[in-house]
Amino acid sequence: MTALTLSTAAAPGLRADAIVIGVAKAAKGPVVAPGAEAVDKAYDGRLAAVLETLGASGAEGEVTKLPAPAGFKAPLVVAVGLGGEPEEDASFDPEALRKAAGAAARALTGAKKAAFALPVTDAGDVGAIAEGVLLGAYSFDTYKDNGGGKAKNGKAPLGDAVLLGTRTRDAAHKGALARAVAVCEELNRARDLINMPPNDLTPEAFAAIASSAGKQHGLKVQVLDEKALVKGGYGGILGVGGGSAATPRLVKLSYTHSKADKHLAFVGKGITYDSGGISLKPAGHNETMKCDMSGAAAVFAAVVAAARLGLEVNVTGWLALAENMPSGTAVRPGDVLRMYSGKTVEVLNTDAEGRLVLADALWAASQEAPDAIVDVATLTGAMMLALGSRTFGIMANDDAFRTTVHEAAEEVGEPAWPMPLPEHLRKGMESPTADIANMGERMGGGLVAGLFLREFVGEGITWAHLDIAGPAFNEGGPFGYTPKGGTGTAVRTLVRLAELTAAGDLG
Nearer to ligand BES, 346 or 353 (CB): 353
Options 119, 127, 354, 444; binder of Zn ion; rule CB under 5 A: 354
- Look up residue 45 and give its DSSP letter: T
Nearer to Mn ion, 17 or 351 (CB): 351
H or E, element range at 498: helix 491-502
CB under 6 A: which stretch of 63-71, 107-115, 378-386, 396-404 binds ligand BES? 378-386
Mask: binding to Mn ion, 271-310, rule CB under 5 A, as x and -? ---x------------------------------------
- Look up residue 281 and give its DSSP letter: P
Taking the C-alpha atoms of residue 507 and residue 488, their distance in angstroms, rounded to an integer, is 26
Options 62, 95, 204, 274; binder of Zn ion; rule CB under 5 A: 274
Following DSSP, what letter does each residue of 58-126 receive, concatenated? --TT-EEEEEPPTT-SSSEEEEEE-SS---TTS---HHHHHHHHHHHHHHTTT-SEEEEE----SHHHH
Taking the C-alpha atoms of residue 296 and residue 268, their distance in angstroms, rounded to an integer, is 4
CB 23 within 8 A of CB 30: yes
Taking the C-alpha atoms of residue 468 and residue 383, their distance in angstroms, rounded to an integer, is 8
CB under 6 A: which stretch of 251-259, 312-320, 332-340, 377-385 binds ligand BES? 377-385
H or E, element range at 422: none
CB under 6 A: which stretch of 113-121, 215-223, 375-383, 409-417 binds ligand BES? 375-383
Phi, psi of 404, deg, nearest 5: -60, -45
Pick from 64, 71, 138, 125: nearest CA to 96: 125
353 is in an annotated binding site: yes
Closest distance of CB 350 from Mn ion, Å: 8
Taking the C-alpha atoms of residue 64 and residue 18, their distance in angstroms, rounded to an integer, is 12
Closest distance of CB 478 from ligand BES, Å: 19
Cα dihedral value 188, 190, 192, 195, nearest 10? -130
Q: Is 467 in the site for Zn ion (CB under 5 A)?
A: no
Which stretches of 128-208 are assigned E, i.e. beta strand? 160-164
- Which ranges in 314-393 belong to alpha helices (H)? 354-366, 381-387
Q: Is 353 in the site for ligand BES (CB under 6 A)?
A: yes
List, by residue number, the catalytic residues: 281, 355
* Chain centroid, CA 414 distance in Å: 8
CB 13 within 8 A of CB 73: yes
Q: Is 445 in the site for ligand BES (CB under 6 A)?
A: yes
CB under 6 A: which stretch of 189-197, 246-254, 348-356, 394-402 binds ligand BES? 348-356
Of 243-282, which residues contact ligand BES (CB under 6 A)?
Answer: 274
Q: Is 186 in the site for Zn ion (CB under 5 A)?
A: no
Q: Which of ligand BES, Mn ion, Zn ion, none is residue 469 near (CB under 5 to 8 Å by kind)?
A: ligand BES
Q: Is 351 in the site for Mn ion (CB under 5 A)?
A: yes
Among all residues, whose Cβ is closest to Mn ion? 351
Q: Is 375 in the site for Zn ion (CB under 5 A)?
A: no
Closest distance of CB 382 from ligand BES, Å: 5
CB 74 within 8 A of CB 15: yes
Nearer to ligand BES, 34 or 235 (CB): 235
Q: Is 439 in the site for ligand BES (CB under 6 A)?
A: yes
Q: Which of ligand BES, Mn ion, Zn ion, none is residue 389 near (CB under 5 to 8 Å by kind)?
A: none
Residues near Zn ion, by CB under 5 A = 271, 274, 292, 354
Residues near ligand BES, by CB under 6 A = 274, 292, 349, 351-354, 378-382, 384, 439, 445, 469
